C-alpha cells in the first residue's frame, strides 16, 4: 500500500522550488496558484531568504503549492493520502475534496489569519526529542506549554509563549533534548483561536466533495469519508494538536508498504523510518528524486497485483 504525504511548516528552505520550475509547464501552474493565493510564489520559492519564507503568510501557500506541483510531476494515484498540519490542505486536493484553486485561496487565508493571531502575543515552538512521551507531555503541561505536534518516533513539539519556551530550555524533560523551531507562532494551540473563527467564516464559499481516496486526519488518525467533515477538521486543526503519531498507526493498520513525501520532503520520511521499520520511503527534494519514487510506486503496484492474483 502506497501512502502519499505532504510536510508542514519548517520544511521549506530558500530556493527549494528553483529546480521544479525548470520542468515544462511548472511555472505556468505556479503562476495560476499565485493568483489564487495573492502572492508571487515563484519569487518566494526561488529568490526569497530564510526569514521571508519563515513568515507563515508566505510559508503556508508556498508549501501547498510545492506539494501540488511535485505530486503532479510524480503522476501516481496513491492508496491513502495525508498531510502534516498545512500539508492536510495539499492532501485534501489529492483526495479531490477541494480544487487546487480553492485550496490556494483557503491556505492563503489560513496563513494570514494565523499570522494575525500570532502577532497578539510573542509565541513560538520547540521540538522535544527523546524522553518518555507521557513524562514529556506532563512536563510541558507543568510549564503551561501545549504539545502541539505529537509526531511519534520520539518527537513532540511544544508551543507557547517565549517565556514558557525559555523555561523549557532551562528545565528539559528527563533524557530529552530541546530544539527551537523556526516558525512564527504557537500553531495548533489556543493562541490560534481567532484564526479558527476567521476560517470558519470562509467555508460556505468552498466547493467541497467527498474524498475519492482514503484521507487520514491529523486530529485523531481516523480516515474521514465526508468532505464537509474534512473541511471542518481543517478549520478546527488550526488550534488543535497534530497527532501524526496516530496517522502513522493508521498507515500501519492499513498495511502500508511505501511512503512518498512530496516536496520539500524529508521530515515525514524521517519519522516513518524510525516509527515504521520495513516501510520503504522516498522524499521528493528535487526532480532528481522522481525516478526513485516512480520505481518504488511501480514495485508496490506489482507486488499488490501479484498478491491479488495469488488470492
Over residues 126-185, the pLDDT tens digits come to: 999 999 999 999 999 999 999 999 999 999 999 999 999 999 999 999 999 999 998 889
Q: Give CA 236 to chain center in angstroms.
A: 15
Q: What pLDDT band is residue 29 in, cutting at 50, 70 and 90?
A: very high
Q: What pLDDT band is residue 81 in, cutting at 50, 70 and 90?
A: very high
Q: How far is CA 82 from CA 12, 78, 88, 203, 244, in A?
A: 18, 10, 6, 20, 9
For residue range 239-293, list pLDDT tens digits in order. Answer: 999 999 999 999 999 999 999 999 999 999 999 999 999 999 999 999 999 999 9
Bridge partners of 129, per DSSP, are 155, 177
pLDDT at 309: 78
The domains located in the chain, with CATH, are: 2-119+189-310 (3.40.366.10), 123-180 (3.30.70.250)
Residue 108 near residue 61 (C-beta atoms within 8 A): yes
Bridge partners of 126, per DSSP, are 158, 180
Which residues, 6 or more positions from 286, have their beta carbon under 8 angstroms from its beta carbon? 19, 20, 263
pTM: 0.96
Give the active site residues: 85, 188
Q: What pLDDT band is residue 307 in, cutting at 50, 70 and 90?
A: confident
Amino acid at each position: 500500500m502506497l501512502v502519499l504525504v505532504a510536510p508542514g511548516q519548517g520544511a521549506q528552505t530558500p530556493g527549494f522550488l528553483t529546480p521544479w520550475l525548470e520542468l515544462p509547464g511548472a511555472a505556468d501552474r505556479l503562476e495560476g496558484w499565485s493568483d489564487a493565493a495573492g502572492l508571487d510564489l515563484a519569487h518566494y520559492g526561488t529568490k526569497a531568504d530564510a526569514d521571508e519564507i519563515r513568515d507563515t503568510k508566505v510559508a503556508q501557500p508556498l508549501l501547498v503549492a510545492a506539494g501540488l506541483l511535485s505530486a503532479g510531476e510524480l503522476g501516481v494515484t496513491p492508496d491513502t493520502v495525508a498531510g502534516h498540519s498545512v500539508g492536510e490542505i495539499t492532501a485534501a486536493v489529492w483526495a479531490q475534496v477541494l480544487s487546487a484553486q480553492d485550496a490556494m485561496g483557503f491556505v492563503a487565508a489560513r496563513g494570514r489569519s494565523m499570522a494575525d493571531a500570532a502577532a497578539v502575543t510573542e509565541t513560538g515552538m520547540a521540538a522535544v526529542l527523546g524522553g518518555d512521551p507521557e513524562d514529556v507531555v506532563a512536563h510541558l503541561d507543568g510549564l503551561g506549554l501545549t504539545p502541539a505536534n505529537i509526531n511519534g518516533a520520539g518527537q513532540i513539539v511544544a508551543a507557547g509563549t517565549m517565556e514558557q519556551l525559555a523555561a523549557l530550555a532551562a528545565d528539559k524533560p528527563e533524557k530529552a533534548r530541546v530544539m527551537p523551531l523556526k516558525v512564527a507562532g504557537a500553531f495548533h494551540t489556543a493562541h490560534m483561536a481567532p484564526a479558527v473563527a476567521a476560517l470558519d467564516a470562509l467555508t460556505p464559499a468552498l466547493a467541497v466533495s467527498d474524498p475519492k481516496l482514503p484521507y487520514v486526519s491529523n486530529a485523531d488518525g481516523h480516515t474521514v469519508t465526508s468532505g464537509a467533515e474534512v473541511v471542518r477538521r481543517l478549520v478546527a486543526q488550526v488550534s488543535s494538536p497534530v497527532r501524526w503519531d496516530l496517522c502513522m498507526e493508521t498507515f500501519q493498520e492499513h498495511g502500508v508498504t511505501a511512503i512518498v513525501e512530496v516536496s520539500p520532503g524529508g521530515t515525514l520520511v524521517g519519522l516513518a523510518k524510525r516509527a515504521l521499520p520495513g516501510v520503504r520511503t522516498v522524499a521528493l527534494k528535487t526532480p532528481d528524486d522522481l525516478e526513485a519514487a516512480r520505481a518504488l510506486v511501480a514495485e508496490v503496484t506489482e507486488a499488490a497485483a501479484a498478491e491479488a492474483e495469488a488470492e
